[in-house]
Amino acid sequence: MFNKVQETVKFLKEKGLTNPEFGIVLGTGLGSLVNYISVEKSFDYGDIPNFPVSTVKGHSGKLIYGELGGKKIVAMQGRFHYYEGWTMQEATFPIRVMKILGIDNLIVSNASGGVNPKFSVGDVMLITDHINFMPEHPLRGKNDDRFGPRFVDMHEPYNLKYIAKFEALAKAKNLPIQKGVYLALQGPTFETPAEYKMVKTLGADAVGMSTVPEVIVAKHMNMVCLGISVITDLGIEGKPETVSHEEVQKAAKTAEKKISDLVTAFIASF
């Protein structure tokens, strides 16, 4: 894998992708955050050596290089989910590429189902911590010390200073923000009422099908992470509601401007 990552990084550098400072993973419905980026280069995943190619509707599958908030950034427009059939190593390959490109800061976004009764659809939740409830682990297997250690410290998966900074920016802009724990299940089914209840009982505020493997791999490589989730539906006990991918995308869109403004201001503040 290390050699594959090197090969991909070499390709991207030769194409002019140099000195990025921030990596961004654009989640479901948030892909148009890309409109805030002054794009210098855009690569279809299919054209990047060793990259998996995304299959989900609404995940267009492009690696974007450009400027946001006055900094060079690399953004993934479309991510790789475990439920699509990728191995955990494949799904997190682009995060390895970002790190070897020189990126130390990772911003991950997603859509999630809220189980905290104080949440509403369209809320933006900063992820303060996560629970890995995926059936596989991206670091299972022989460890490659060139990426990071065998046993990875996870005492602060989402950087507390970044969370505080983001919160302060939201406050200054009068944009309300939630905070909470994100629990990852493999999907692709949305949760049953009993599963939403389980998620809440386990101590989470929101549930989704992504992000946790990426953050684990980022922490393996000592990256600093900020996680942002849009609450696109609610799994509140006694109030079962239908959920569809279309509704999730629609609800995520409503938070798009807020998140885009805040992420831009966040990056600009460095």
Distance CA 113, CA 199 (A): 10
CB of 130 to ligand HPA, least distance (A): 13
Q: List phi, psi (to 5°) of 200.
A: -65, -45
Q: Is-contact 265 69, C-beta < 8 A?
A: yes
What are the tokens at 117? Answer: 């009764």
Nearer to ligand HPA, 129 or 233 (CB): 233
Nearer to ligand HPA, 92 or 232 (CB): 232
Q: List phi, psi (to 5°) of 109.
A: -125, 155
Binders in 193-252 for ligand HPA, by CB under 6 A: 207-209, 232-233, 235, 243, 248
Q: Is-contact 56 210, C-beta < 8 A?
A: no
Tell me which residue has tokens 């809220």: 114
Nearer to ligand HPA, 64 or 207 (CB): 207
Binders in 165-184 for ligand HPA, by CB under 6 A: none
Give me the 96-135 binding string for ligand HPA, x by CB under 6 A, dash otherwise.
---------------xxx----------------------
Nearer to ligand HPA, 101 or 111 (CB): 111
Distance CA 37, CA 1 (A): 30
Nearer to ligand HPA, 114 or 148 (CB): 114
CB of 221 to ligand HPA, least distance (A): 26
CB of 268 to ligand HPA, least distance (A): 29
What are the tokens at 137? Answer: 């682990």
Q: Distances from the Cα of 33 to the Cαs of 64, 80, 260, in angstroms?
A: 11, 18, 6
Residues at the site binding ligand HPA, with contacts judged by CB under 6 A: 111-113, 190-191, 207-209, 232-233, 235, 243, 248
